[in-house]
Structure 1
Amino acid sequence: MTLRVTVIGDDLTGTVESAAVFHRYGFGGTIGIGLRPDARPAPGTTIWTVDTDTRQRPALDAAERARSAIRAAPAPLLIGKIDSLLRGRLVAHLAALDPDRYPLVFAPALPVQRRVVIGGAARDLDDGRPIGAAPLAELLAPLPTAVLPELAVPELAERIAQTAQAGRIALCDATDDAALDRIVAASLALPGVRYAGSAGLIAALARRLADTVPEPVEGQGSMVPGTSTGSVRVQRAVLSNSVRVRRAILFVVGTAAPTLAGQLDALTAAVAGTRVWTRPAGRAGWPERTAAEVRQHLAGDAPAVLRLPERQLSGPTDQTADADDAGLVAELAALTEHVLAGIEVPLVLTGGHTARAVLDRLGVDTLRLCAEIHHGAVALGAAGDRTVVTRPGSFGGPDSLVRILDRLSAPTRQDRP
């Protein structure tokens, strides 16, 4: 199999989310994730997603890392993964896609999260508040753009082609998934076309290129049409069945999402022997004995949790807000490295910044997608047969961590990395 698509992301959870979208829509071959801009896909890789880790880097550095990722893994279809809240170095990422030479279609709407683009401005569909500090054309300056309204496919195809001929980026309105599907249908045949957008646009491209009908994925906020989010009865069944599960799994929680407290309560209630280590307040940091205690606990085949309490993090969910937060996450990553030295246990990482810090500390530079446990929670294979699950800090219902543990405790042959 040959490489079909390369996705250039700017943070880990968004990059993994992009890989999961293609997995959900039945793409064959290996779906790989690179953690270095110059990482190259293994033979047999059909979908390659790269985390350039540039959301908080200087713009020039971000542009060069994105260009390096494109050079390392050229594919017939190139996509720049953009945050639907318009965080990060938008101009740098779009410039790296070389809109002077290639037609570029930009569609950052994410309708499943009620984030739409109307008249070239991103906004929340529920309360109408703007997303981003200015209309998209201003955010992308000095890159030349043309705002394209929602149109039928023939008219939209003509407008996109005209925009490309004029050397401008097609900045497309979209208020629902059908509009994103029309954008793809109107542009995919354009020679050399490249795309930039959120997971909504990536899902539209995957639908258009899909090898098979997507399999349903349970989970809160799933983007698969018609997917059930799971009833209370199902959630209770998962919890009650999980009481008998015991497995050495290390959970590393480094985000301030308010839902995490309930998820941890569900995990400790469902699985006997689960123990949580919380970083003490103040500058003293983790006690020296912590790593040894956690290793001993894991040796007893029971889950262990390392976490930073909400009051110590100023960031709302997955993004650190200041240097103090970054220092706490780096400290947590160093502790995780010490715990895992010489042992192989599944690793669950919640929060994009935490996940990236831990994987960097462990020297992981490539991953391969194995399974999607629920929307946002993705099982990945790393070198040395280690299984890693990443999940944005704010994702998942009350039983999210229990569902992850259940899946890791009884993997099928297909799900093994």
Structure 2
Amino acid sequence: MIDSVALYDRFNQNDDPSVVHHPPRSTHPVTHHFLIIADDLSGAADCAAGFVSAGFDGAVLLGGAMREPTPSAAVVTVDTDSRRDPGAAAAAKARAALEHHGAGRRVIKKIDSTLRGGWAAEVAALQPLLGLALVAPAFPGLGRIVRDGMVRVDGIPLAQTSTWKLEHAGRESRPASMLEAAGLRAGSVPAELLEGPPEALLRHIARARDQGCQALVVDAEQPAHLRALASATRDLAEVFWVASAGLAHEIARCVAPARPARDALAPPVAGRGVLTIVGSLSPIGTQQIACLGARPDCSIHTIPARLLRIAPVDGAGAPSWAEAIHADLARGLDPVACIGADADLDPAEGPLLARHLALRLAPSLRAAGGLVLTGGETARIMLEQLGIARLQVLGESEPGVVLLRSMADRPQCIATKAGAFGDAGSLERARQALRSRLACDAPAPS
């Protein structure tokens, strides 16, 4: 690893005044068209929503649309669905997304702010094609910062958090070390450089690249740090950003178009009612379900995990709980389906349970006009069941809760949210936002 402190000191001492390190500014017109490569759907949608809020138009592609023509939207986000993949498989998907949709676009490799997934292998695969990686996992608004090259969650070093201990005990948690293990030469950007003139940051980046650095891990503890990084590097050539939604949103704000994009005309949404799917019961998820349950036009259906461990049998009738959910939709209620925990529940079986839930709820998924889907993995599985591979980004009902519209012959309105995100009212506000959308699309009385 490059000694970033020594590098910073040598630069500031200007040890060789005869050498001028020119910041790698582009000599061509700078495009404000972007490709975002994400490894799960909720993260993909969250990043895209930041750009839409800033005035861009945005589309999200799932794996089924990987080889289709690139949409004309200024911001195209590809969900490679690689969060659980081995590093080599995740890297191959990221590279394929770049090759199919990256022409003429600046690239953001979206990563999880707590470094889940094979992100380092993905960066190593993209770096030879894109240049220096500026790595900024910090998302101060959610309590995730980077100090001295270490991710901290609400002040606690990442390696000491309960989630890391549960899923990655004994593994390296420093971003630079993870990048080095993937074969990249990594350095860092001290936070002080983000508090001074942008020229100092740009010269630091140029010097690091001259010394063979392939990735720079950025310390950031405040939104202003990310804002400074976005502003200073927005026009740099031969760099790409590796970031959580925190930096992605700041990039969107600093390159916002002079004329906001208009919503494209789309066919009206078919179906009735809003179906909410909760894939796992986090503590906040339990509160959100309780909030929905207090509404007279909602019904709560908790499906025990044991009923979903066995795959549906072809030709067998729908279980009674699935019929009840479908009947509630037909009656004008907004049903909520959630997977109930039991003593045998293993987080690793989440995708299996969600797939079996999607198969049994297929008629209800098709009948609903709106879908509220919590958890990127759960959302992805439900959309795959519907054959949806392209989504138009509409905006947010609140930060982190993204509103989308399926780009299909029979469009539906969809809200996605990370499983443990938000407050007790987040799912209810998402439901109401979809209700408002559905009301706008409803045919006028004759």
User: Normalising by structure 2, what TM-score?
Assistant: 0.77
Paired AA for residue 90 in structure 1:
W
Is residue 59 of structure 1 aligned with residue 87 of structure 2? Answer: yes
Which structure has the greater CA radius of gyration?
2
> Which of 150, 153, 171 in structure 2 is aligned with 1:124?
153
Name whichever of 292-301 and 12-21 sits farther off: 292-301
* Equivalent in the alignment of 1:369: 393
Question: Matches of 2:83 and 2:369 in 1, distance apart?
Answer: 30
CA contact (8 A) 2:130 2:240 kept: no
Name the structure 2 match of 1:393: 419
- Structure number with the higher helix fraction is 2
Q: How is 1:11-410 mapped onto 2 (pairs within 5 angstroms)?
A: 11-27=40-56, 30-36=57-63, 38-40=66-68, 43-74=71-102, 75-99=104-128, 102-128=131-157, 130=159, 133-141=172-180, 142-150=183-191, 151=193, 152=196, 153-168=198-213, 169-211=215-257, 248-272=273-297, 274-280=298-304, 282-283=306-307, 288-311=319-342, 314=345, 321-322=347-348, 324-341=349-366, 343-382=367-406, 383=408, 384-410=410-436
Q: Distance in 2 between matches of 1:414 and 1:107?
A: 39
Mapped contact 2:91–2:125 kept (Cα < 8 A) = yes
Percent identity reads 31
Indicate the residue corresponding to 2:10 in structure 1. Answer: none
Runs of 4+ deviating beyond 4 Å: 39-43, 128-132, 283-287, 312-315, 412-416
SS of the residue 2:356 aligns to: helix
Contact 1:34 1:41 in 2 (8 A): no
Matched residue of 1:49: which SS?
strand
Query: Structure 1 residue 124: deviation in Å?
Result: 3.0
Contact 1:10 1:51 in 2 (8 A): yes
TM-superposition CA deviations, 1:12-43 (whole Å, max 9, x none)? 1111100111112222xx31001117254655
Partner of 1:235: none
Q: Shift of the alpha carbon at 1:380?
A: 0.9
Deviation at 1:357, TM superposition (A): 1.2
Specify whether residues 354 and 192 from structure 1 end up closer, same or farther in structure 2 by C-alpha distance, changes over 3 A only: same
CA distance in 2, matches of 1:202, 1:299: 40
Which of 188-197 and 58-67 deviates more? 188-197
Q: Distance in 1 between matches of 2:114 and 2:296?
A: 36
Contact 1:6 1:48 in 2 (8 A): yes
Maintained 8 Å contact 2:303/2:321: no
CA change 1:126–1:42 in 2 (3 A) is same
Counterpart among 407, 411, 414 of residue 437 in structure 2:
411
The code of the aligned residue for 1:405 comes to R
Please say if residues 11 and 52 of structure 1, whose CA atoms lie closer than 8 Å, have aligned partners that are also in contact.
yes
Closer, same or farther: CA 344–338 of 1 in aligned 2, 3 Å = closer
Which residue identity does 2:235 align to in structure 1? A
Number of residue pairs matched?
373
The SS at the match of 1:174 is: coil
* Alpha-carbon offset, residue 403 of structure 1: 1.5
Q: Per the alignment, in what secondary structure is the counterpart of residue 277 of structure 2?
A: strand
Q: Which amino acid aligns with 2:84?
A: Q
Contact 2:114–2:158 (Cα < 8 Å) also in 1: no
* Aligned-pair CA distance for 1:362: 1.6
Q: Is the 8 A contact 1:12 1:353 kept in 2?
A: yes
Aligned residues of 1:25 and 1:213 also touching (Cα < 8 A): no
Report if aligned partners of 1:35, 1:366 keep a CA contact under 8 Å in 2: yes
Unmatched 5+ stretches in structure 2: 1-30, 165-171, 261-271, 313-317
Contact 1:54 1:89 in 2 (8 A): yes
Task: Report what 1:7 is aligned to.
Answer: 36
User: TM-score, normalised to structure 1's length?
Assistant: 0.82
Counterpart position of 1:238: none
Closer, same or farther: CA 187–340 of 1 in aligned 2, 3 Å: closer
Structure-1 residue corresponding to 2:169: none
Find the residue that maps to 1:97 and give its secondary structure. helix
Structure 1 portions without partners, runs of 5+: 215-246, 316-320
- 8 Å Cα contact 2:150-2:158 kept in structure 1: no
Measure, in 2, the Cα distance between the counterparts of 1:372 and 1:415: 18
1:209 aligned partner, one-letter code: V
Give the distance between the partners of 1:390 and 1:188, measured in 2 at CA.
28
Give the aligned residue type for 2:369: V
Secondary structure of the residue aligned to 2:238 is coil
Q: Which moved more, 1:395-404 or 1:348-357?
A: 395-404
Structure 1 100/50 Cα, relative in aligned 2: closer, same or farther at 3 Å?
closer
Deviation at 1:414, TM superposition (A): 8.4
CA 1:331–1:312: 2 relative to 1, 3 Å = farther
CA deviation string 1:176-213 (max 9, x = no partner): 12112222233333222211111111122112111269
Q: Deviation per CA, 1:279-309: give whole Å up to 9, x if none.
A: 1353576972333322222111111111112
Distance 2:276 2:295 in 1: 15
User: Would you say the 8 A contact 2:369–2:438 is kept in 1?
Assistant: no
- Give the Cα separation in 2 of the matches to 1:76 and 1:284: 42
The structural deviation recorded for 1:65 is: 0.6
SS in 1 for 2:283: coil
Pair 413,264 (structure 1): closer, same or farther in 2 beyond 3 Å: closer
Residue 415 (structure 1) shift: 9.0
In structure 2, C-alpha distance between the alignment counterparts of 1:331 and 1:367, rounded to whole Å: 23
